[in-house]
Structure 1
C-alpha cells in the first residue's frame, strides 16, 4: 500500500470539509433523485461515501474508481471499518459492502475510460480531479455518461491561486514557477476552475451552481488542526520538486523559511478553488 499517498489524501480531509461550498452542495442535495446511481472518479481513499451518508444520500448505488491500487486497497479496508465504528450498519458483499440501503464498491481503473463506458448515471462526482485532465474531454465524457438531466458535482477544482503568509520576497517567482510546472504536465490546467465553468456554459446542459471552495490552512496557537501540518509539508515538497526544473532566484531561502515557519506553527497556506454543479440536458 502507498502509505505516503494515503496519508496525504487523508490529511486533506479536514481541509476539504471546511472548503466545500455549502450552497453548491445544497443544490446537489435538492436535485439528486431518490436511489441515485453514483459514479465517483478519482475517488482516492473513499471519503465521498461517509460524506454522502452525512448529507443524507443513503440509498442507491455508489461506484468509486481510482487508478492507484494502494488507495483503493485502503478504501476497501478502512472505510467500512470506520463506518461501523461510527455506528453505521455495514454488510459485506462479494464486490464491496452495503451501508443501509447504499451499495458501495471501490475499483481500480482509469477514470476517463470508466466514464466513456458508463451510461445512465444520476450523479458523477469528480473531486480535485478536473485540474488533472483536459477539461473539455472530461466534460464530454461526463455528459455521455449521465442520464438525461443527470448531475456532475465537481468540487475542489483548483483555479490558479497559491498563497503563503507571511510574505517573502520570492513569493511571486516561486508561485509562477510552480504553476508553470503544473501547466507543463500533459492534460493539467492550473486555471481549471474558470475554464471548466466556461466550458460548462458552452455545453448543451446547464451550469447549475458555482461557488468558491478555497483551502485555508492556518495555525491556531502555534498548532495545526488534525494532520494538516503533514499536508502542508507535502505541498512544500511538491513546490520544491517543481523548482528543480525551473530554477528561481531566492527559492532556496524561500523553502528554508517556509519549512521553518511550518515547524514553528507560523505558516498559512491558501489555495483558490471552485465547486461546480453541471446538469446534463433533459433530452
Structure 2
C-alpha cells in the first residue's frame, strides 16, 4: 500500500461534503435515538467521525471496519489528532488490536473517545462484521454498496440492525460518468468503463437504482432517497482543496479499470492525454451520478 489511497480518500472529503444530501441527512438525524450504536462498513480513513460530530451526534458508540489494515492504521493515527486540532477533546483508549475477531463486538474498549462518542477502527471484512453484529441503531455504508453484491449487503444490514434500526447508504454510484469539455471519445470511454466495472464479481455500475428498488421491496421502509452527485469544477482555473489530485486519481481509475478488463477503446490514450492536459490547465469538469439512501429495518 502506497500513500496514494489515503491521500485519495482524504482528497475526496470536500467533494463528498458538497454531494451529500441534506434532506437524507436530516431524516437520519430526526430518526436516530440518543447515544446510538453505529457500525460503518468500509470506514476508510474515518472521516465519518468528524462529520457525525459536526452534525451534532456527539454521544454513543461508533465502530468502523475496513479491509485495508494500512487505511485502518492511518485512521487510528490521524483521526484523533485531527479532531484535537479542530478543538475537540479526545481521550485515547488502550492500544488497539488488529482484527475484528479479537474484539468483543461493540462492547470492547474504544480506541479513543471524543466528547461522549466512543470510537474504534478495526481491520476486517465489513460484511462479516455486519453478520456478527446485532442490535445496532445505525449502519453506515458510504461509497460501499456499489462494491459488493446488493442482496448480500441488505441481508447483512438487516441482520445487524435492531428492529427499526437505520441504514444510511450515501454516495452510492449509479452509472453516470461525465467529463467536460466534450471529447469525441467520451461515449466510448464511458461505455467501456462501466462495462469493465460490471465485469468484476459483485459489482453493479447501476447500484444506486437497484439498491433503491431492492429496499423498496423489503419489509422495512425506504425513508429517503436523493441524488448526491459528485461535481468537481475549477474556479478561475483553481480546484478547491486537494481536488486536482482527486481528479488525477479518477482518471487513473478509469484507465486502470478499462485496461484490466476485456474492454477496448482505441482512442483511450488520446482521451487520457487530453483530459490530463485539461486538468493541468484547470479546465476539466467531472460529474459522477450517485444516490444517498436511508432505510429503516422492520
Task: Please indicate, yes or no, whether the TM-score normalized by the shorter chain is above 0.5.
Answer: yes
Which category describes the TM-score, using the shorter chain as reference length? over 0.9
Choose which of 238, 246, 263 in structure 2 pairs with 1:223: 238
Q: Hey, what's the Cα distance between the residues in 2 that align with 1:188 and 1:227? A: 28
Provide Cα deviations, 1:29-57, integer angstroms capped at 9, x if missing partner: 00000000000110000000000000011
- The equivalent position to 1:211 in structure 2, one of 226, 229, 236, is 226
Of the three residues 147, 155, 158, the one matched with 1:132 is 147
Residue in 2 that maps onto 1:165: 180
Give, in angstroms, the shift of residue 240 of structure 1.
1.2
Conserved? CA contact 1:64–1:105, under 8 Å: yes
Please, which of 132, 136, 160 is the counterpart of residue 117 of structure 1?
A: 132
Supply the RMSD in Å over aligned alpha carbons: 0.8
- State the alpha-carbon separation in 2 of the partners of residues 223 and 13 from structure 1: 17
Moved over 4 A (4+): none
Q: Quick check: 26-35 or 95-104, which moved more? A: 95-104
Is 1:32 equivalent to 2:32 in the alignment? yes
Normalised TM-score (structure 1): 0.98
CA drift of 1:243 comes to: 2.8
Distance 1:83 1:249 in 2: 47
Q: Does 1:16 align with 2:8?
A: no
Unaligned runs of 5+ in 2: 97-110
The residue correspondences of 1:23-102 to structure 2 (distance < 5 A) are 23-94=23-94, 95=96, 96-102=111-117
The number of aligned residues is: 281
Moved more, 73-82 or 244-253: 244-253
Unmatched 5+ stretches in structure 1: none
Q: Find the counterpart in structure 2 of residue 263 from structure 1.
A: 280
- 1:252 maps to 269
